[in-house]
Amino acid sequence: MQISDSLERRLASILGQPVHNAQPLAGGMISQVLRIELADGARAVAKLGDGGHDLTIEAYMLRYLREHSGLPVPSVLHAASDLLIMEFIAGASGWDSVSLRHLGELLAACHQIQGSAYGLERDTLIGPLHQPNPPSDSWIEFFREQRLLYMTAVARASGNLPSELERRLLRLADGLERMLSEPPRPALIHGDMWRANVITRAGRVVGIIDPALYYAHNEMELAYMTLFAGVPQEFFDAYSARLPIDDGFFRRRRHIYNLYPLLIHLTIFGEKYLKPLHETLEELKY
């Protein structure tokens, strides 16, 4: 793949040697992603900003996870608002039954890392969208204000959320105290845990990318992993052997927490996500 002369010179200057080859990789919602091969055969991954999103936010999240957790996130080699260069991790996106068990172990360990409050010391991104993280002592209040109501407003502003569904979401938000309880502690979560963000090799999880981290109820992460096709039972068996999951999560609470990613998908991808949002509210009897 041909890259611009200016980008090639910039990469060579940062990495200390000429770029031999560049190939596109599957990326997230906010940038083009390239696998860079250098003259000596070393490889790296470069994300190119589109001018609308600050890639130093992703660099911050990767560094935070490397410092505070045992998740195998890539090291950051360079971070600027328009260019993020990371360690290249060889492997394939997705999982099998063996690597799912390893993923369960890794996330259970991550979720046992405690924070002093729900939220984070700074705001982050979820895909291309702003994710507010003002610290809160109450999980229910944080989820209501900074996740459910905030993303309802974003979806409404996008023009993709009908007023009838908005009214139902607002009614549900008013009744969260009847449906949720406060967890014992804030848990560190990756925040965007789905198949494309997991890199595996030989039955092990060797890389986890594209975080949207904050301190939350650990069920927030698990809920997203049940959405759409979900993850097979091997993951939940390995996870619950280390960190038990209450039955009420599967019966009801996961549907409440999945309103947040459904609103995100509706905002980004449009009306095809109205049906699962409607069905989730029907399941919750709202």
Domain range list for the chain: 5-87, 92-283
* CA distances, 10 to each of 14, 16, 25, 62, 78 (Å): 6, 10, 19, 22, 11
Q: In this predicted model, what pLDDT tens digit does every residue of 160-219 receive, in sequence order?
A: 999 999 999 999 999 999 999 999 999 999 999 999 999 999 999 999 999 999 999 999
Domain 92-283 CATH class label = alpha beta
pTM > 0.85? yes
What's the whole-number mean pLDDT along residues 44-58? 89
Instruction: Print the SS3 string covering 136-196.
Output: ECCHHHHHHHHHHHHHHHHHHHHCCCCHHHHHHHHHHHHCHHHHCCCCCCCEEECCCCCHH
Q: In this predicted model, what pLDDT tens digit does every residue of 208-257 receive, in sequence order?
A: 999 999 999 999 999 999 999 889 999 999 999 999 999 899 999 999 99
**What is 5-87's CATH topology?**
Phosphorylase Kinase; domain 1 (3.30.200)
